[in-house]
A and B are shown apart, each in its own frame.
Chain A
Amino acid sequence: DADVTQTPRNRITKTGKRIMLECSQTKGHDRMYWYRQDPGLGLRLIYYSFDVKDINKGEISDGYSVSRQAQAKFSLSLESAIPNQTALYFCATSETVQETQYFGPGTRLLVL
């Protein structure tokens, strides 16, 4: 089984809808991250969490919110989706010391 899983893998939604992307991990890592990837722009950090009680904004947090329900679960919400949030979204985890990040398979989101 995959160490980092994301659901759903694909999602089509309409402008103005609220949606949630979920991430679960079995690696036992404390740190979790949400990124979006757009062609030509690379991976950009949306939010990160160093433990259950710690949530931090990344480079592009506007329009997004997160919830860290447990060490193993980190959810990303789009409060009111807009077309320029169409992207590939990745969840990642890392150990505190080494910082190597382990990525999930991604969620492809299309906002119409």
Chain B
Amino acid sequence: EDQVTQSPEALRLQEGESSSLNCSYTVSGLRGLFWYRQDPGKGPEFLFTLYSAGEEKEKERLKATLTKKESFLHITAPKPEDSATYLCAVIWGSGTYKYIFGTGTRLKVLA
């Protein structure tokens, strides 16, 4: 079954405590993996796109990496303003549109 699974569901960090969020996928023919940030009551906001295994993208304290089975979102020295839900999504296959979101990781960074 085509699936996208994110872990952990929730994560509490102290300010400055680095960690990683995981997005694993079981789809055939990955075309792209996306990371989004969602603040409460708002729409998801695009962070990164990764297209092939070994690819990495960075933005401020965030770094996304991709392997053949999973992606990691590394958060270095997080700040309270990094608190949000982080969603990953994958697009795969050809022909019929296939785009699926994971259920997200709720991150809380404590001052």
Residues of A within 8 A of B31 (CB): 99
Per DSSP, are chain B's interface residues mostly helix, strand or loop, or mixed? Answer: strand
Contact check: which of A99, A100, A104 meets B43 at CB < 8 Å?
A104
Per DSSP, are chain A's interface residues mostly helix, strand or loop, or mixed? Answer: strand
How close is B45's CB to chain A, nearest CB, in angstroms? 7
Q: Please state if B44 and A43 are interface contacts (CB–CB under 8 Å).
A: yes
**Chain B residue at minimum C-beta to C-beta distance from A100:** B46
Contact check: which of B34, B103, B104 meets A100 at CB < 8 Å?
B34
Assign chain A's interface to a size class.
20 to 34
The digit string for B27-39, where 1 denotes a CB below 8 A from any CB of A, is 0000110101000
Q: Please state if A43 and B42 are interface contacts (CB–CB under 8 Å).
A: no
Q: Please state if B103 and A41 are interface contacts (CB–CB under 8 Å).
A: yes
Write the residues of chain A forming the contact surface with B, with a CB cutoff of 8 angstroms: 4, 40-45, 48, 50, 56, 90, 92, 98-106, 108
Write the residues of chain B forming the contact surface with A, with a CB cutoff of 8 angstroms: 31-32, 34, 36, 41-46, 49, 87, 89, 91, 97, 99-104
